[in-house]
Structure 1
Amino acid sequence: MDPTLDDLVRKLDLETKLRLISGAGAWTTQACEEIGLRPVSVSDGPVGVRGPIEDERDWSATMPSSSALAATWDEELLHRVGALLAAEAVRKDVDVALGPTVNLHRSPLGGRHFECFSEDPLLTGRMAAAYVRGLQDNGVGACPKHFVANDAETDRTSVDIRVDERTLRELYLAPFDHLVTEAGPWTVMAAYNGVDGAPMTESPLLREVLKDEWGWDGLVVSDWGAVYGTEESASAALDLAMPGPSEHWGEPLLAAVREGRVPEAAIDDKVRSLLRLAARVGALDGHPAAAGRPSPGTVEQGAALAREAATAAMVLVRNDGDLLPLANDNLSRVALLGPGALEARPLGGGSATVFPPYVASPLEGLRSALGDRVELVTAPGASLSDDLRTPRARELSQPGTLRWLDATGACLKEEPTEGTHFVRDLKSVEEGSVSLELRTVFTADTTGDWQLGVSGVGAFVLDLDGETVVDTHIVRDPLDIGSVVGAAPQEHITRRLTEGQKVDVRLRFTWGQDIMLFWVGLVVGEPRLPADQQLARAVELAAASDVAVVVVGTTEAVESEGFDRRTLRLPGDQDALVHAVAAANPRTVVVVNSGAPVEMPWRDEVAALLLAWFPGMELGNALADVLLGAVEPGGRLPTTWPARDEDVPVWNTTPRDGVLEYTEGLHIGHRAYLREGTEPAYWFGHGLGYTTWEYESFDVPAHVRPGEDLTVTVRVRNSGERHGKEVVQVYAARPDSAVERPELWLAGFAVAKAGPGETVDVPVRIAARALQHWSVTGHQWQTESGAFLLSAGRSACRPLLTDETVVSE
């Protein structure tokens, strides 16, 4: 504790204190020259750093989604990702990055599943801690979120989560506990939801557990708009209300303090926490920053690490006949099929959205890697959805013109633009403007019925060749993140165009005064063959090729903040496409481009199945690296993939009468499958590489004292013909326990790398906590004396070596 912070707090009057604990806007805190305090800037993440402004031109190096990063099981890599994002934060003058997201994969239906690491609290905590250290070792604050139990999106601002004390401790609080202890994040975000009757911004858990029990001295910030009242939130250990100024923490809080309903000492605590954060990030005069900052990030640095991380995350779950890696020398024709071949998805929707400097498509990646010697043919084969897309660069005259207009229609500013989709914070648009006007020329690259339209919320007029074809006002709740920054509504017309025909486009958009930002633009849809003809064309290409690669997946309309999924089925006709292509070519590889599990009814029909997640901006290049064997797919599943919708053990993400009951208790993910005796499609921890491994020995201490860590050693041998990576997983079980437990649970893991024929001894640390349980009578962690069975293996259901250790004095 720094006593000088107390001196600074004493210099401030009550009104100034209250001003400081409420934000200055969407992305900054208040300044106070009197004490040398500048604003602290925060930004959304966690796969990039969007920065303090909303502007599609302000690119962000885009890493793989958190579910992908967790699939690496590689803490060193996560630390480097955090360090790179710190450099991105420096480039954008950001002090605190709002991430990582450390809620659990309680159900695969959770809308932000892609934004969370894992179904397992240990894996989640360790990945999150490495990420946080990477940021903060480089002078940028991390803000783990959302404390706590924000594991679904339905009615998230009002839902009350009911979870028993032991489950809350052992599952949902556990990753926060780990990263607070191991990484010391400078901030933590309190969630929208409630837990056991109290909204998290008013919850006693903030003080009693986070600050007092864990001894954490950071700042608690509300999720944006999650302060619902005055006295309750101010009396809790919530330190900063965002965005600001907060309607609940202004005059109402001033009156509450003066009338004695909220003690001024509580306000002093909040200000002290804010000043401590400011000191750590170098925003408080006289206080050196906690760590030096790196040079601003570059596209090249981002590209290299994004590519490495994406390949390390890809999980090969099936490789019949060792089809992968593809032997380039034996290929003459490759069919790249599926709606994701040209328009693959790099990241999920919602506040995690950033603007990549580019996205390498699978077509671009494979074309570059294969060169001219191999013919690469492509067809979508199926429609993923009816949504239109942003025009491609080759379809536009470059540059177009963007004009900012006032209420009379007069032009205030004109500028060239290479894009047709615009994201702006209203504070950053041309002063006095109420509308924007895009003028460009669209060129059809094929003959047929084209769709041309608009996307966004507000008033639109679309003229084609001087004719008004769309004149509409699209209304949607501007606070609905899913529609505003994810799957925005669209309206369009259909027009017959011939190949090479040019169309003069004028799009005028007028925003309302009740919004803070807009995401709008021109959208198009190319002519589509009837579904049966699309499918037939893809099958024809597959049958006449050496190998067929089919890219299927989801979009931001399926996986996003703001809503939960209702099914795991792939959208559109993608399942039918895979069935048909697999029947036409036994050498079929399917690539799944999704952030969360999807149903794969064809999985036993294809030769190879690669889960690519939402892999970031280097999607296509990383995919080519893995398919052609330049790099081994390094991922192992961080979450269990169900076989069918009806097999999902935890389905309920929808509250009933405002309450969501976590009736499954400790049994989520692989724990639930083991308890119920149900076989998923693929188990937690599963993943294949391009070599093979033998587990030769397992050295387990025979005895350990209660509360002590232990280290086990697993000897593994690379029995294959190329260098490879293995994730050695150690699980614990207590078959005769006096308390309810999962059949087994992850106790430790380590990454091993070895060349052909090489044997390595892999130490795996088992923390004392891994063998403890939370006592609901003693309200503390306890260790049950007796024998624990430890298993080393490659997934949650494939123990290869077992031994036991006895816990006793």
Structure 2
Amino acid sequence: MKYKDLIAKMTLEEKASLMSGKDFWQTQDIKRLGINSMFLADGPHGIRKQAAAADHLGLNESIPATCFPTAATVANSWNIELGEKMGEYLGEEAVAQGVNVLLGPGINMKRNPLAGRNFEYFSEDPYLAGKLAAGMIRGIQSHGISACVKHFAVNNQEERRMAIDTIVDERTLREIYLTAFEIAIDEGKTKTMMSAYNMLNGAYTNENTHLMREILRNEWKYEGVVVTDWGGSNDRVAGLIAGNELEMPTTNGETNEEIIQAIKTGKIKEEVLEENVDRLLDLLFTTEEALLESHKEIDKEKHHQMAQTVAEESIVLLKNEDEILPIQKGKKVAIVGEFAKEARYQGAGSSIVNPTKLDSTLECVKECGFETIGFETGFARYGKKSQKKIDAACTLAKRADVVLIYIGLDEVTEAEGLDRQTMKIPENQIELLNALYQVNKNIVAILSAGAAVEMPWINKVKGLVHGYLSGQAGAKAILGILSGEVNPSGKLAESYPMRYEDTPSYYQFPGKEVSVEYREGPYIGYRYYDTANVDVLFPFGYGLSYSKFEYSDIQVAKDRVTFKLTNTGGMAGSEVAQLYVGCKSTNIFRPKKELKGFTKVFLKPGETKAVTIPFDDKTFRYYNVKTNSWEIESTDYEILIGSSSTDIRLANVIAIEGTRAPLPYDKAKLPSYYSGKANNVSLAEFETLLGSKVPESKWNRTKPLGYNDTIAQCQYAKGGAARFAFKLIHFSHWFLRKIGKRSTANLIMMSIYHMPFRGVSRMTGGVINMPMLDGILMMVNGQFFKGLRHALKERRKKMEGEKSKTTMVQAAKEM
């Protein structure tokens, strides 16, 4: 241990105290030993350090900070160096605000397009997500503070996220859901990780010894700190044994006492606690030195310009019929859409950033060179169809050469804590587009959304620019693309299916009660669409440019592939060249091809560059469940170079000598996986892949409700008061949506409806402790008066204990 001598000076109580928060965002301190608090702040795309009362849902305004594009947007840049540079800016701002640990980036896989937090995550591909995350981590930590990669692991739905049990086979877990974390640790050297809320194959992630000990600590040799997601601790002692050092937020000493009693009774050894304390101290001491420069002023304009640069490289041009873009100078342009007036530029929930400034489309358009003839909202942001707004927009559109329509998903449709109900954009926006099409065919849509959407309206637009959620400078960046000042170079980091029913997890998302089964195995995103020959609207890796690029002269060596790339267009631009590898053997089921490398190359008109993409330890590997290790199959592999997953420009073959491991599967028992058509796998076949029986996925409605049951389950509780409370919550949600208070309605779902009962204690900072919660559960389970007496009795004991503690502290100060 690094801090053995310091730890030896601590009492047992002091050691335990360091394992949970001092308040909502700070860790505990021990002043007599010179141990200060650390400050942890949300910040996947900007610092969210709250100036007033702290909360986890973004209700209270935070100190102004640069709002960079979200991870879903940055991923479209396919530029590791750009992500690292953005990380440097984030790290600088974190230091200025006195933040030790920046809670980001988020690198969970985009298993399903409806997952409510997709805007915070990079990609459906673990290699791309891991490489971009590693770059951002290096940038953040270059200032001496810590990044915090999250959410470890398989946290891919928002509904019941604090209680859902994710059932996934070991190979899929390793290849799809853990690879990005592996890269983030190996190449990014992240100092902190955040455990996820959910369970994994029957155990909460922060207590899961296979995940936390066997893989994270033993295999990956991770020596940093693991912090729970806020309120994500279940059994504190089990979490400590697994190596989850820090529980957040504070529990007012309640779980510290659990640790102390576990040591006194011999349940765990004190050395286990000391091992966790040592890692936490290392994080504290290695980050606090950087904060000597805290409160230093940052150059807000410089940071704003960086946000614009990131956005410019991340915006994706999806359609450009008749070369309607870039818009020629002198063209009369009509601007339509609520999002042109008030941009949709970031997600909703714990990642909300209070921007230092915010560019406006209607202001910035004056600098673009084309003639704007007016603006109309066209639709209500959260409302129903308005014929009056549509008519006004059509009147304006009739006079224009080009119509720019700003559409997309609003803040209450796409938010943390909720999954989307549909892949469609709001109907009133589609009705507006249909009406505009009747009066002017020259329409360019500017789309704002953090995840894939259906586009049955795609033939109604000649141009389509996807800005994703492009941050505080996104409006100007988008206008740069439209005007031709910037040549678009973004490529999609996720596939866009024709319709939601085509997605591989369609039948298994979300898990509604006890569990969610990942029956599709490794076939998520393009791995499924390409292998099962399912047509998509826009493939993974797709994006247009105002230039054209030619690929030639592929050469494959044992450790690399080289080729030439030429800009055959008339405008300087960047192309993302992508390396995919396909295994020719059919002995082990695999996707048709997988991303194994990429590079972004800038070329002047007519310029040719030689490009090299090296192979690495992940190029040919697969996880063998029989040997429980990574293996390489001895066979021929296709080396494919493409402009997208479906636009393969060059191909070659290489023979690889493998590890000669035994075959892990009986092909006859896994027909869906060997065919790749794994979107509707039977229970029996999934259990064969899993190697065990699938647990019951439905709630047991006969047993009493407990700590890990959710408030939503009060609908079948024995206690009449609990059932009434559920109906009241359900009605409140319906009524608030009915009267247009959708944000408030969402809060009910996020913070009440799907909350496990233990969360009532864990998220209230000790205001309601577990003994009081026992009383509440008695009331829920039909013992109303007994439970009420118990809760009130425990509350009195708690108040008396706190009063006694305060008296003792005051007496100590007076001595």
TM-score (norm 1): 0.78
Quick check: 2:126–2:177 contact (8 Å CA) kept in 1?
yes
Counterpart in the other structure of 1:362: 361
Provide closer, same or farther for how the CA distance between residues 295 and 756 of structure 1 changes in structure 2, counting only shifts above 3 A.
farther
In 2: Cα distance, 1:600 partner to 1:294 partner: 46
Counterpart in the other structure of 1:641: 496
**Matched ranges for 1:154-165 at <5 A:** 154-165=159-170
In 1: Cα distance, 2:213 partner to 2:274 partner: 15
Say if 2:640 is the partner of 1:791.
Answer: yes
Provide closer, same or farther for how the CA distance between residues 624 and 657 of structure 1 changes in structure 2, counting only shifts above 3 A.
closer
Residue 596 of structure 1 deviates from its aligned partner by: 0.7
In 2: Cα distance, 1:742 partner to 1:59 partner: 45
Counterpart in the other structure of 2:313: 312
Counterpart in the other structure of 2:541: 685
Quick check: 1:575–1:600 contact (8 Å CA) kept in 2?
no
Match of 2:61 among 56, 78, 83: 56
* CA deviation map 1:66-102 (0-9, x unaligned): 0000000001110111000111112211111000001
Residue 274 of structure 1 deviates from its aligned partner by: 0.5
**Matched ranges for 1:682-761 at <5 A:** 682-701=538-557, 704=558, 710-761=559-610
Quick check: 1:23–1:245 contact (8 Å CA) kept in 2?
yes
In 2: Cα distance, 1:6 partner to 1:681 partner: 58
In 2: Cα distance, 1:380 partner to 1:346 partner: 17
Residue 670 of structure 1 deviates from its aligned partner by: 0.8
In 2: Cα distance, 1:239 partner to 1:698 partner: 49
Match of 2:237 among 231, 234, 240: 231
Say if 2:261 is the partner of 1:255.
Answer: yes
Counterpart in the other structure of 2:382: 385
Counterpart in the other structure of 2:183: 178
Quick check: 1:90–1:296 contact (8 Å CA) kept in 2?
no
Say if 2:521 is the partner of 1:665.
Answer: yes
**Higher RCO, 1 or 2 (CA under 8 Å, sep at least 6)?**
1
Residue 293 of structure 1 deviates from its aligned partner by: 8.7
Counterpart in the other structure of 2:299: 298
Say if 2:624 is the partner of 1:775.
Answer: yes
Residue 207 of structure 1 deviates from its aligned partner by: 1.3
* CA deviation map 1:272-328 (0-9, x unaligned): 010110121036xxxxx6999996423212210111111111000111121111112
In 1: Cα distance, 2:64 partner to 2:50 partner: 12
Residue 128 of structure 1 deviates from its aligned partner by: 0.3
In 2: Cα distance, 1:575 partner to 1:742 partner: 36
Gaps of 5+ in 1: 284-288, 388-529, 705-709
Code of the residue aligned with 1:23 in structure 2: it is G
* CA deviation map 1:120-160 (0-9, x unaligned): 00000000000000000111200000000011101000000
Provide closer, same or farther for how the CA distance between residues 254 and 753 of structure 1 changes in structure 2, counting only shifts above 3 A.
same
Secondary structure, counterpart of 1:562 in structure 2: coil
Question: Which stretch shifts more, 247-256 or 614-623?
Answer: 247-256
- The structure whose residues are more often strand, as a share, is 1
Gaps of 5+ in 2: 53-59, 659-815
Counterpart in the other structure of 1:801: 650
Counterpart in the other structure of 1:426: none
Counterpart in the other structure of 1:342: 341
Secondary structure, counterpart of 1:61 in structure 2: coil
Say if 2:2 is the partner of 1:147.
Answer: no
Provide closer, same or farther for how the CA distance between residues 654 and 532 of structure 1 changes in structure 2, counting only shifts above 3 A.
same
Residue 364 of structure 1 deviates from its aligned partner by: 2.0
Residue 247 of structure 1 deviates from its aligned partner by: 5.8
Residue 656 of structure 1 deviates from its aligned partner by: 4.3
RMSD: 1.8
Residue 33 of structure 1 deviates from its aligned partner by: 2.5
Counterpart in the other structure of 2:21: 23
Quick check: 2:96–2:295 contact (8 Å CA) kept in 1?
no
Match of 1:580 among 435, 456, 460: 435
Counterpart in the other structure of 2:282: 276
* CA deviation map 1:653-701 (0-9, x unaligned): 3214410000000000111112332111100000011111011221112
Question: Which stretch shifts more, 49-58 or 546-555?
Answer: 49-58
In 2: Cα distance, 1:763 partner to 1:802 partner: 14
Match of 1:554 among 389, 409, 429: 409
Residue 342 of structure 1 deviates from its aligned partner by: 0.4
Quick check: 1:191–1:222 contact (8 Å CA) kept in 2?
yes
Say if 2:470 is the partner of 1:615.
Answer: yes
Code of the residue aligned with 1:316 in structure 2: it is L
In 2: Cα distance, 1:306 partner to 1:788 partner: 40
Quick check: 1:138–1:292 contact (8 Å CA) kept in 2?
no
Counterpart in the other structure of 2:780: none
Provide closer, same or farther for how the CA distance between residues 173 and 290 of structure 1 changes in structure 2, counting only shifts above 3 A.
farther
In 2: Cα distance, 1:375 partner to 1:774 partner: 57
In 2: Cα distance, 1:296 partner to 1:267 partner: 39
In 2: Cα distance, 1:202 partner to 1:247 partner: 20
**Matched ranges for 1:169-208 at <5 A:** 169-204=174-209, 205-208=211-214
In 2: Cα distance, 1:272 partner to 1:165 partner: 31
In 2: Cα distance, 1:215 partner to 1:318 partner: 46
Secondary structure, counterpart of 1:730 in structure 2: strand
In 2: Cα distance, 1:662 partner to 1:53 partner: 41
Say if 2:426 is the partner of 1:571.
Answer: yes
Provide closer, same or farther for how the CA distance between residues 580 and 52 of structure 1 changes in structure 2, counting only shifts above 3 A.
closer
In 2: Cα distance, 1:57 partner to 1:100 partner: 19
In 1: Cα distance, 2:438 partner to 2:590 partner: 44
Counterpart in the other structure of 2:31: 33
In 1: Cα distance, 2:29 partner to 2:50 partner: 16
In 1: Cα distance, 2:274 partner to 2:291 partner: 22
Secondary structure, counterpart of 1:591 in structure 2: strand
Residue 39 of structure 1 deviates from its aligned partner by: 0.9
In 2: Cα distance, 1:728 partner to 1:583 partner: 39
Residue 57 of structure 1 deviates from its aligned partner by: 6.3
Secondary structure, counterpart of 1:777 in structure 2: coil
Quick check: 1:139–1:291 contact (8 Å CA) kept in 2?
no
Residue 533 of structure 1 deviates from its aligned partner by: 2.6
**Matched ranges for 1:418-497 at <5 A:** none
Residue 231 of structure 1 deviates from its aligned partner by: 2.9
Quick check: 2:567–2:606 contact (8 Å CA) kept in 1?
yes
Match of 1:266 among 272, 276, 300: 272
Count residues in correspondence.
649
Provide closer, same or farther for how the CA distance between residues 57 and 281 of structure 1 changes in structure 2, counting only shifts above 3 A.
closer
